[in-house]
Amino acid sequence: MQAFDYIIIGAGSAGCVLANRLSEDNNNRVLLIEAGGSDRNPVFSIPLLAGAAYFWKPSNWHYETTPQQGLDGRVIKWPRGKVLGGCSTINGMMYMRGTRRDYDMWRQMGLPGWSYEEVLPYFKRAEHNPERPENRFHGQGGPLHVERAKADNPLYRAFLEAGYDEGMPANDDFNGAVQEGLGGYDFNVLNGRRVSSSTAYLRPVLSRSNLAVWTKTHVLELVMDGRRVTGVKLSRGSAVETIAARAEVILSAGAINSPQILQLSGIGDADRLKALGIDPVLHRPEVGRNLQDHMGVYLKYAASQKVTLFSLFRPDRAIRALTQAYLFGTGPASAVPLEAGGFLKTRPDLDEPDIHMTFVPGLNLETTRAGQGGHGYLISFYQLRPESRGEVHIVDKDPRVKPRMDAAYLSSEFDRQVMRDGVRLAYRIGQNAKMAPYRASAISPLAADMESDSSIDAWVRQSAGTTFHPTGTCRMGADDASVVDAELRVRGIDGLRVVDASIMPMIVSGNTSAPTMMIAEKASDMILGKAPLRG
């Protein structure tokens, strides 16, 4: 039987970070397991192709939700990365940390070490941001390259001016002292190429003799000796084998697969596991619960000027742009078409923003596929801190069967109200006079959709979908019912931690990729017994 000190399951946003940090000490023999394959395909490196990468079959688990009662029974596609780098290899590359309040709330929930001041040093350790001076909020020299959006399309400026005209403040740094306002985003892009956890953390250390990376390898279950994890049972090619872990197994498989692997291994709701023919090892009903996601909508407009991404739909122009981006890292395909937006309050009495709004100088893939076939643009937003909670649970003891995913979107009246208010705010910006030179007509919502609360609710139910941020299904907590403790150790099980977005007790107020890498940076010090970083 092969043996490693640390076995990391999942080479995503967290797993690649852990593989790098845990293998820094040559005495640690580390195995990183990934169900997907290589991330070397050019599709992953070109920023403009991020939208295509979400639905590209070889790199995707192709998950979907159950029919969502709050969305008129629609099933929502949930692409999750199945490739080195995980979701950081297929996402929109937006670098967002969330707010001070997010992490201070974690600390107030009884989780020492997770306040904003305690996690900030790990964001800074990860970061290399040459366009912002090293200061209280930003770091230099880390593996994760961050750069500011160029946002040179005139539509971006029109959108920002419309927002300012509606009384929204300007903001030059959403990861600094204040989150509220509109401006240009920061991205994980370097020389016109995507920066993922794989390109930043894994590729530079692949030559380490104490690090093994196995792709196209599926974990079937954890191997247990009583209530201690001693290894993993996995499928690699045509062989099924067991690999021993001398120190720890670390689950970094994400908000869907981490609870799935726990449940397949007998850690979960005992009655539900017995009904599937699985012998319970530990009754832990919270495994798979507390599922949270950022649900959003697109407000779509037809454009009166030919300055949108539709110009690239002509085959010769598309080939030229993609070639230029791949060979030289320049041109329209070298930028993510999400470069302007911000964090806004839907009501003036709020202490902090409650929605994240983004402008896109083009139409989403679904609209284009439906035959809209013309110049247009989007104003999108999602609710930052939803109250709705769903769950993930296996439906079969066969690891190849996809688990059941119920996001329970809009099951809270609070969430429905925030979406109403957000639609009104986004619509107001879209109708502002600053957008008039570019606005031909509204595609959706139409004026009739904006007439009342009930008509807005109906439009949201028919239009809303995921922004690809599922979290919380292996909740970190101070209470005995939580899945992991403040050190990310699975309660009641020795030799096992969970390190990924599933441990978030409450979803952060922004995109989840950078916070997940921060979690892994911090966890690596915990695992190695190092003193936590100080600011």
Element (H or E) spanning 45, and its range? helix 42-45
Q: Which residues are annotated as catalytic?
A: 469
Element (H or E) spanning 183, and its range? strand 181-184
Q: Is residue 365 within 8 Å of 50, Cβ to Cβ? A: no
- What is the model's pLDDT at position 317? 87
- What is the model's pLDDT at position 365? 61
Q: How many CB atoms lie within 10 A of CB 52?
A: 12
Of 353, 394, 390, 383, the residue nearest 69 (C-alpha): 390
| C-alpha dihedral (62, 66, 71, 76), degrees to nearest 10 | 0
Radius of gyration of the chain (CA): 23
Q: Which residues contact 65 (CB under 8 A, 6 or more apart)?
A: 75, 76, 78, 405, 406, 407
Mean pLDDT for the stretch of residues 229-233: 98
pLDDT level of residue 73 (50, 70, 90 thresholds):
very high
Domain 150-184+295-383+411-463 fold: Cholesterol Oxidase; domain 2 (3.30.410)
- What is the model's pLDDT at position 268? 98
- What is the model's pLDDT at position 372? 56
| pLDDT tens digits along 506-517 | 999 999 999 999
Mean pLDDT for the stretch of residues 44-51: 89
Burial 343-363 (b: 16+ CB within 10 A, else e): bbbbeeeeebbbbbbbbbbbb
Kindly list the distances between the CA atom of residue 72 and the CA atoms of 65, 317, 325, 353, 367, in Å, as whole numbers in the listed order: 13, 39, 41, 28, 19
| pLDDT tens digits along 443-487 | 999 999 999 999 999 999 999 999 999 999 999 999 999 999 999
3-state secondary structure of 414: helix
Of 487, 485, 467, 466, the residue nearest 477 (C-alpha): 485
Of 94, 161, 96, the residue nearest 337 (C-alpha): 94
Tell me what percent of the residues of the chain surpass a pLDDT of 70.
99
Q: How many residues does the chain have?
A: 535
φ, ψ (nearest 5 deg) of residue 262: -60, -45
| pLDDT tens digits along 251-278 | 999 999 999 999 999 999 999 999 999 9
**Residue 365 and residue 302: Cα distance in Å, rounded?**
15
Structure tokens at 152: 């040179």
Judge whether residue 389 has pLDDT over 90: yes
At residue 453's C-alpha, the angle toward residues 448 and 455, to 5°, is 35
| pLDDT tens digits along 89-137 | 999 999 999 999 999 999 999 999 999 999 999 999 999 999 988 889 9
DSSP letter at 484?
A: B
pLDDT level of residue 326 (50, 70, 90 thresholds):
confident
Judge whether residue 205 has pLDDT over 50: yes
- What is the model's pLDDT at position 371? 46
**Residue 422 and residue 383: Cα distance in Å, rounded?**
8
Domain boundaries, the chain: 1-147+187-291+397-403+472-535, 150-184+295-383+411-463
At residue 233's C-alpha, the angle toward residues 231 and 237, to 5°, is 135
| pLDDT tens digits along 409-446 | 999 999 999 999 999 999 999 999 999 999 999 999 99
- What is the model's pLDDT at position 535? 77
- What is the model's pLDDT at position 264? 98
* CATH architecture, domain 1-147+187-291+397-403+472-535: 3-Layer(bba) Sandwich (3.50)
